[in-house]
Each structure stands twice: as C-alpha cells, then as structure tokens.
Amino acid sequence: MELKNKTIVVTGPTGMVGPPLCKTLAADNRVLALARFSDANARADLEAGGVECIAVDFVEADFSAVPREVDVVVNLAVIKTGDWKTDLAVCSEATGHLMSHFRDAEAFLHCSSGAVYQPNGGQPFTEDSPHGNHHAHMMPTYSICKIAGESVARFGAQEFNLPTVIARLNVPYGDTTGWPFFHLLMMRAGMDIEVHTDGARYNLVHDEDIAADLPVLLDQASVPATTLNWASPGLVSVAEWCAFMAEIDGCDPPKIVESDTAIPSTVMDTSRIEALRPDRLVNWKDGIRRLVENHPA
C-alpha cells in the first residue's frame, strides 16, 4: 500500500514507536493521533511535526470526536498499569470500539507483541507457536492483555468486514528511545542489568525499519485477519548490546545478573516478513551507535 495522500489514524502516538512513526507518515499524509495527551510537551512535539492531535480516553473508548472517514488505522495503543480492569479496557476492549468506529477503513493494523508467546528456552517463535504469559514476572497484565487484544482484532475483522493485519512487534528502538536506551542509563549509573537465564536474546527493529515495514504489512490486511511476526532478522542478546554500548560510550562494562524472573528471550522466526521485505535499513550495531551518539554522557 502506498502511504501518500492518505488519512491515517495512529493510536498510542506518545509511546516508544508512535512519535517517529507519526512524524514520518505526516510528511506525505494527514495523520490523526489519538491519545489522552496528558503530557503537553509530547503533544506539542507531534504537532510541530505536522500531526493532528485529538484527545481520547481509551478507558472510556469514546471516539465520537474523531471523523470516521479515514483510510488506514494503526493501533499502537497500550497501557501497563498492572490493574487488570484498566489494562484490558485499553489493550483489548478499546480495539473493538476502534474497529467499529473505523469499520469503513481500507486497512487496520493491530500492533501486538512477541510477549504473546509461551517461553520456550530461546527457540524461534513462528506465528503459530503456543501462546503464554511471557512477561508474567515483570509485567503481570501485559501478555494476557495482548493476547486478548488479538482476539478482539480477529473478531472485529470479520464482524465489520475490515481488512486487518495483526503484527507482533519485537523489540523496537531508535535514535532516541527503546529498551537499549534504558540499559545505557543504567550502565552509566553503575546499576545491575538483570537478564534471563535463557540467554536473553531478541530481534531489535529500528524506527526507520518500522516505518518502512508499515506499507508492506498493510498490504497483508485481510478478512479473516492475517498475523505476522514484526521484527528484523538477526538476534542479539542484552549482554551483547550493552557491551557494545559501553565500548562506544566509554562507561564501565555492564554488570549482568542472570535471573529466572527477568523477561525471557523473544526469538522471532522472521521468514514471513523477510519474504515481503528482505532488505533492512538499519543493522543493530549502526542503530545502537546512533542511539549512544544521540545521548552523550
């Protein structure tokens, strides 16, 4: 799908993935960003990038202030309060209301997560791998809410005849944010970095590749919904990217502590998305280097 001269709704525009994606899309499209916008600076930053911001409370899921006539919906909305009622309302129930409101859209992308998979000792997850409470120890509601959200998206696709793609993202980062950024701050503070005993390996996917993947993923939107792993090929462990950051930054080497209660590995089988878009814009070492250089000590 060519994303030019489209009206695109993006939910969750103030999270890790949302800001750079919204600004990239706004260069050639009308982008409507939906969030509470409790942070005035986050809203101002998006508006400076040409994004139209509309305040919406996803717990209430009232989208009446948002025009229905849009071309594409990118649902990145997520919350991790640990309160089951709130988290299920935002991560799953609101998806149904969103799909109902925008039932006439050309395509709907529901952003899920590798956190829906049952931990398996670091073996690759295919799109058909068993589900489970992957993040149970660190984020007790997250995995279950993501699984519930996928179920609602599958229902909505068929109920509203809305072409839908469910994309399981793993692990987003960019020049200014992401999980490696928090590890960089922890190393500079001399803090321990807890990793899982299974090797703590993940597929990093850069903001630029997330934006480049979007048109390809939307092309896969269908009824019934299509499900795809959303990640870049190639694995890297937390210990490996932390050691590389320390080398660039000049801080002390990471203090790695293994634990069975840390987030397990999320090793994605990326064969399906690689077949759709084989070339990557940013490899993990270049991306990590850019991240560190954008945050001088």
pLDDT 10s digits, 169-193: 999 999 999 999 999 999 999 999 9
| 220/107 Cα distance (integer angstroms) | 9
The answer, yes or no, to whether residue 49 has pLDDT greater than 90, is yes
pLDDT 10s digits, 272-291: 999 999 999 999 999 999 99
What are the counts of helices (DSSP H) followed by strands (DSSP E) for the chain?
10, 13
Cβ pair 210, 21 in contact under 8 A:
yes
| 230/171 Cα distance (integer angstroms) | 9
Q: What is the pLDDT of residue 246?
A: 97
pLDDT band for position 297 (cuts 50, 70, 90) = confident
**Among 274, 269, 241, 284, which residue's Cα sits nearest to residue 120?**
269
The answer, yes or no, to whether residue 234 has pLDDT greater than 90, is no
Tokens of 68: 């229905």
By DSSP bridging, strand 172-173 and strand 164-169 are unpaired
113 strand-pairing partners: 169
Tokens of 266: 């999320």
pLDDT 10s digits, 100-117: 999 999 999 999 999 999
Q: What is the mean pLDDT of residues 252-262?
A: 96
